[in-house]
């Protein structure tokens, strides 16, 4: 029997939007599954060296957000929400994004960036955190995720 495989696509870059992918990848490794993460579009923020430590919580347009839309759009609200979320995460001993990505990499999760999205945003591999294994095309992603369960977050 071959090892079960999980491939997780991370396309959103808010602090609240990247953790489901992190948790799924971590859970896959804890369940002895191979796991890979493919960061595309705004998900690249989570693996970009100068952005990973400054992610916001996306409030506007989020139906589950308890803050009224008019307030959610005010300057500084996303940063405030990110600080509040960060404090809750620290209280629960949940590592921040940079530490979480390091832990995922050390556990054997393969982390990839989308070539087309990188080109669209003018990024190069040197702009990414060291845990990114490679910059790949969608075709490469399909080849690497063959026989995997694919989850889009």
Residue 81 pLDDT:
76
Distance CA 27, CA 38 (A): 16
Looking at the DSSP assignment, which residues form a beta bridge with residue 135?
113
Distance CA 124, CA 75 (A): 30
The answer to whether the CB of 150 falls within 8 A of the CB of 120 is no
Beta strands in 13-152 (DSSP E): 34-39, 110-114, 132-136, 149-152
Residue 89 pLDDT:
83
Which domains does the chain possess?
5-152 (3.40.1260.10)
Tens of pLDDT, residue by residue, the chain (153 residues): 568 999 999 999 998 899 999 999 999 999 999 999 999 999 999 999 999 999 988 776 666 767 666 666 677 777 777 788 778 888 888 899 999 999 999 999 999 999 999 999 999 999 999 999 999 999 999 999 999 999 998
Distance CA 15, CA 117 (A): 19
Distance CA 112, CA 137 (A): 10
């Amino acid at each position: 029997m071959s090892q079960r495989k999980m491939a997780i696509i991370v396309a959103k870059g808010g602090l609240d939007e990247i953790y489901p992918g992190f948790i799924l990848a971590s859970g896959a490794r804890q369940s002895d599954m191979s796991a890979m993460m493919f960061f595309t579009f705004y998900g690249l923020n989570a693996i970009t060296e100068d952005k990973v430590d400054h992610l916001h919580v996306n409030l506007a347009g989020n139906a589950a957000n308890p803050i009224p839309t008019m307030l959610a759009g005010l300057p500084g609200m996303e940063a405030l929400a990110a600080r509040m979320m960060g404090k809750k995460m620290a209280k629960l001993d949940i590592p921040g994004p940079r530490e979480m990505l390091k832990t995922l990499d050390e556990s054997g999760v393969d982390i990839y960036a989308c070539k087309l999205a990188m080109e669209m945003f003018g990024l190069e591999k040197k702009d990414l955190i060291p845990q990114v294994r490679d910059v790949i095309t969608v075709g490469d992603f399909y080849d690497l995720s063959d026989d995997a369960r694919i989850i889009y977050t």
